[in-house]
Amino acid sequence: MKYYRYKDEHSIVCLLCKHYCTLKEDKSGICGVNFNENGELVNRTYAHPSAVHIDPIEKKPLYHFQLFSKSFSLGTVGCNFRCPFCQNYTISQTTDIDISVVYMPEDIVHLALEHKTQSISYTYNEPTIWYPYAKDIGILAKEHGLKNVFVSSGYESAEVIKDMKLWIDAVNIDLKSFSHDYYKKVLKTDLDGVLKSLVAFAASGIWLEITTLLIPGVNDSDEEIEQMAAFIATNIGAEIPWHFSAFHPDYKMLDTPRTPYSTLEKAREIAHKHGILYVYLGNVPTDANTYCPKCNALLIDRNSFEIPALDIHSSSCRLCGEYIKGVWL
């Protein structure tokens, strides 16, 4: 795809995310890393990652995708959101690019293969804003049999989501709140845009999981969780895994308390009440196992890294035959 379009003889429109920023010559948009250079969109973080690491796929988090595998993970700098709770704010809320660090797409794929990972994850900061770099890595990765994973806040443009179907295998999308005001006033984006992305991903054929960081006094009311659960059950599907993560004080929210475990438990109860089958709790010691929604058999034991009752070849419970949605191989 082409990542921009011309607006007039002096400016272009960036097509990477739903902000659709208008960029005049040598100016960037909200993300601070994509510039109009001589009438073309240039991503200045291209080939300059700020972080690389090998993570378990469960850390993305993805619980129904390539079980117990390792993912070569990277991020750059910048973001199109302004989350005051960001745990990676040292890279996401800066536009300082270390140009001395250079990893071309072929270098990233080589490292992923060398370390025997099964996928490459575009994560840590918002990968939508460095999509041209990510895609060049991902196309090459697929040629070598690697999967591609996007960890995102869900503000991709419609053009990018359509293009992602060509090379992305799985996404985890943050649903940060169900408040239009919170998204607009605090996060500086739009809730409807994220909801449209979730619906589009659910219909795309790309494996989807959703994460909600529950923050005390912000998005943890029963009413708001009910609204999120109803939306997911109705518009996304009851078989999509939903992860509730506990907040800890960070960045601009150091005075906000940690999320009580009871809040996470309540959220899980609400999700189950709406028929959502696979609900997981994160950032807390808890049972992260997967159970059959029909016979309650233990399918995946994430403590012992075993799959006692899941037939990964047929995606079914060995005991009752229930189909368990996921990408297991």
Q: Mind listing the pLDDT tens digit for each residue in 228-279?
A: 999 999 999 999 999 999 999 999 999 999 999 999 999 999 999 999 999 9
Give the mean model confidence (pLDDT) for residues 297-313: 97
128: which residues sit within 8 A by CB, 6+ positions away?
16, 17, 80, 152, 153, 155, 156, 160
Residue 231: the pLDDT is: 98
CA distance 215 to 207: 26
pLDDT in tens, 94-139: 999 999 999 999 999 999 999 999 999 999 999 999 999 999 999 9
246: which residues sit within 8 A by CB, 6+ positions away?
213, 214, 258, 259, 261, 264, 281, 282, 283, 284
Give me the count of residues in the chain: 329
pLDDT in tens, 86-104: 999 999 999 999 999 999 9
Residue 290: the pLDDT is: 98
pLDDT in tens, 189-216: 999 999 999 999 999 999 999 999 999 9
Q: What is the bridge-based pairing of β-strands 147-152 and 170-174?
A: parallel
Give the mean model confidence (pLDDT) for residues 298-314: 97
Give the mean model confidence (pLDDT) for residues 17-45: 98
Taking CA atoms, 146 is separated from 42, 106, 140, 258, in Å, by 27, 13, 9, 37
Please report the domains of the chain, with CATH numbers, ordered by start residue. Answer: 4-43 (no CATH), 51-287 (3.20.20.70), 289-329 (no CATH)
74: which residues sit within 8 A by CB, 6+ positions away?
49, 51, 52, 53, 103, 108, 120, 121, 122, 123, 124
List phi, psi (to 5°) of 159. Answer: -65, -40
In the numeric block, which tokens belong to residue 82? Answer: 């302004």
Residue 168: the pLDDT is: 98
pTM, to two decimals: 0.98
CA distance 305 to 82: 37
Residue 236: the pLDDT is: 98
Residue 8: the pLDDT is: 94
Q: How confident is the model at residue 54 (pLDDT cuts 50, 70, 90)?
A: very high
The runs of H, that is alpha helices, within the chain are 89-92, 105-114, 131-143, 158-164, 180-181, 191-202, 222-231, 261-273
In the numeric block, which tokens belong to residue 217? Answer: 């006094």
Residue 310: the pLDDT is: 98
Cα 277 to chain centroid, rounded:
20
Q: How confident is the model at residue 325 (pLDDT cuts 50, 70, 90)?
A: very high
CB 2, CB 160: distance < 8 Å: no
Residue 218: the pLDDT is: 98
Q: How confident is the model at residue 65 (pLDDT cuts 50, 70, 90)?
A: very high
CB 24, CB 39: distance < 8 Å: no
Taking Cα atoms as reference points, which of 200, 201, 156, 154 lies closest to residue 177?
154
